[in-house]
Structures are given as structure tokens and as C-alpha cells.
């Protein structure tokens, strides 16, 4: 089946979708994005993603080309047309182009909006049983990681470094403390306490993070939002990550040292279960 994508108001077969070579997303990474997962043909946490999208646009003084109600309809329509049961909807908005290249924001440019689907089984993964192995690397990204921009080169490099080391991902470290994973938020568990870095410009404010911390607190687990080091993580009982496409995923090894007993932890797996159950209930 040919994938149907959405570009600037039109639904098109992917091979017919076009964007200008002068688009600032292409020339300057002047764009923002969101990834929303689909379970059972329904969108998980759509409101959270829509709100964060608007925040990213505001921070960059970029116009929003679509009403939020219409955006929900486009997401749903793409799920329908591509018959997605499980997978992701990728959305990208760039500042567009005025037909030339100039560092200053163009005054007359219309934003470009693109959405496409990815069909993928998300609710089950061998990684849930075996757990992820991560390496630590220096965080060499720019200073506004709270804005979800499409400049993802360093995270891609981080994934390649992890791959070269025979691992699944990299946790980035700044001034001695873990910021986050290349495409996810990072957590450790010690006793009944969950520790994850506090919100700020240094990390993306994960939509899954917000939900998981809320569920953890509702389940009477203690949550501490503060920086933690790689040594503290190695000494923890459990570690895990969260993101829209992995939900809650255990981490069992950091820089070659096992975390806890080296298998996915109880708290982690419980949180994954709660997150999936609760999110499915309110999926749209
Ligand atoms: N941090 C980074 C750097 C990310 O790229 C992502 C996923 N896009 C996350 C955290 C997790 O955010 P979310 O739960 O909203 O997917």
C-alpha cells in the first residue's frame, strides 16, 4: 500500500509530496516537530503533543499554519487512510521559504507543514524483556533543548556511537549530570524513589514524562526531579527511559556496568503497564 502523507493542506501519495529546496527546514533546520503514537488506531496524548507544538512555535516566533482541531482531524485521517493500528504520526512545521537563502527570518514566508505515518508494533518489544544497554556521552547539543526542533544531528551521532559500542542508546551528560537520552527522558529508581532530571532548557519536556510522573505519584511512588550522575545511575536499583514511541523502557546496563540485578526492574515494568493501560483509556 502506498503511504498517504499530508503536505500543506493536501493528502498525497508519498512519491508526489514536494517541498521547496529553499525551505528553511532544509537550509537552517528552522523547524519544529512532534511524534504522536497510535495504539489500537487511536492517538496517545494528542493534547500534550499539540500544546508542546504550540509552545515550540511560540518560542521561535513561528506562525502556526493549522488550527488545533484541524490538526487532530489530519492525524485521524492519516491513521484511517494508512490503516494504522500501531505506529507513529510524525508532524513537522518549518518557517517555510521566501524563495531564497538568508539568515534573517523572511517576512513573507508561509510555514510548511508535513505529516506522515509510520506503521510499527509499539506495545510489544523484545527490549521490554531484555532491557536496553546505554553508553554515556557528552551532551554537545545547543542550549534550547526544551524547544522540539528538527536539528537532530547530535542525537543521530549519539545513536551511532551507541551502535558502534554494541548498545541501544546514549545518555548525555553535562557538567557531570545526565540530561536525557538521545530521543527520550532518563530515570533511575532507588527503593521506592524515582529520580529524573528537573525541567529546564537542558532537556525536552517529554509528554510521556509528564504522564508517567503523574501516574507514579498517583500510585504513591516518591518522585524526585533533580540532576543525577552516571555513578548514581550505576548504583541504582533500576533505570529506564520514556518517550512517545517507547512508552516506558527498561535500561539494564550503563557503560558496560549492570544496573541493579541486570534485568528489567519491577517498578519500571509496573509503570509501563500503568502508562499503557491509562493512555489507552483516554486515547482519541
Ligand atoms: N528527549 C528528547 C531529546 C526527545 O527527542 C524525546 C522524544 N522526542 C523525548 C525526550 C521524549 O519526549 P516525548 O515523551 O514527548 O516523546
pTM for the structure as a whole: 0.97
* Domains of the chain by start residue, with CATH: 4-119 (3.30.470.10), 126-282 (3.20.10.10)
Q: What is the pLDDT of residue 1?
A: 87
**Which position among 148, 159, 190, 234 bears the catalytic label?**
148
Ranges in the chain, pLDDT < 50: none
Q: What is the pLDDT of residue 109?
A: 86
Distance 202 CA to ligand 1 centre (A): 12
193 labelled catalytic: no
Q: What is the pLDDT of residue 108?
A: 82
Question: Hey, whose CA ends up nearest to atom 7 of ligand 1?
Answer: 183
DSSP-derived secondary structure for the chain: -PPEEEETTEEEEGGG----TT-HHHHH--EEEEEEEEETTEESSHHHHHHHHHHHHHHTT----S-HHHHHHHHHHHHHHTT-SSEEEEEEEE---SSS--SSPPSSPPPEEEEEEEE---S--HHHHH-EEEEEEE--S-S-TTS-BS--HHHHHHHHHHHHTT-SEEEEEETTEEEEETTBEEEEEETTEEEEPPPSTTS---HHHHHHHHHHHHTT-EEEES---HHHHHTSSEEEEEETTTEEEEEEEETTEEPTTSS--HHHHHHHHHHHHHHHHT--
Question: Hey, whose CA ends up nearest to atom 9 of ligand 1?
Answer: 184
Q: What is the pLDDT of residue 208?
A: 98
Amino acid at each position: 500500500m502506498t503511504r498517504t502523507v499530508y503536505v500543506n493542506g493536501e493528502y498525497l501519495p508519498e512519491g508526489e509530496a514536494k517541498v521547496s529546496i529553499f525551505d528553511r527546514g532544509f537550509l537552517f533546520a528552522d523547524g519544529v516537530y512532534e511524534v504522536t503514537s497510535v495504539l489500537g488506531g487511536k492517538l496517545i496524548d494528542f493534547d500534550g503533543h499539540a500544546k508542546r507544538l504550540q509552545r515550540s512555535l511560540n518560542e521561535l516566533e513561528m506562525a502556526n499554519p493549522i488550527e488545533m482541531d484541524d490538526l487532530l482531524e489530519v492525524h485521524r485521517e492519516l491513521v484511517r487512510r494508512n490503516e494504522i493500528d500501531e505506529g507513529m504520526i510524525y508532524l513537522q512545521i518549518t518557517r517555510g521559504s521566501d524563495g531564497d537563502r538568508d539568515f534573517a527570518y523572511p517576512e513573507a514566508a508561509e510555514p510548511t507543514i508535513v505529516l506522515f505515518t509510520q506503521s510499527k508494533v509499539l506495545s510489544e518489544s523484545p527490549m521490554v524483556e531484555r532491557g536496553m544497554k546505554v553508553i554515556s556521552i557528552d551532551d554537545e547539543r545547543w542550549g534550547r533543548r526544551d524547544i522540539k526542533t528538527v536539528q537532530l544531528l547530535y542525537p543521530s551521532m549519539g545513536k551511532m556511537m551507541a551502535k558502534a559500542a554494541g548498545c541501544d542508546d546514549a545518555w548525555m551528560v553535562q557538567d557531570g549530570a545526565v540530561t536525557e537520552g538521545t530521543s527520550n527522558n532518563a530515570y533511575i529508581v532507588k527503593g521506592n524513589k524515582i529520580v529524573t532530571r528537573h525541567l529546564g532548557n537542558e532537556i525536552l519536556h517529554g509528554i510521556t514524562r509528564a504522564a508517567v510522573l503523574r501516574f507514579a505519584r498517583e500510585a504513591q511512588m516518591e518522585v524526585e526531579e533533580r540532576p543525577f550522575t552516571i555513578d548514581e545511575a550505576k548504583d541504582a536499583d533500576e533505570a529506564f527511559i520514556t518517550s512517545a514511541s517507547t512508552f516506558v523502557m527498561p535500561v539494564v546496563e550503563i557503560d558496560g556496568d549492570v544496573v541493579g540485578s541486570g534485568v528489567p526492574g519491577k517498578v519500571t515494568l509496573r509503570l509501563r503497564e500503568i502508562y499503557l493501560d491509562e493512555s489507552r483509556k483516554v486515547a482519541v
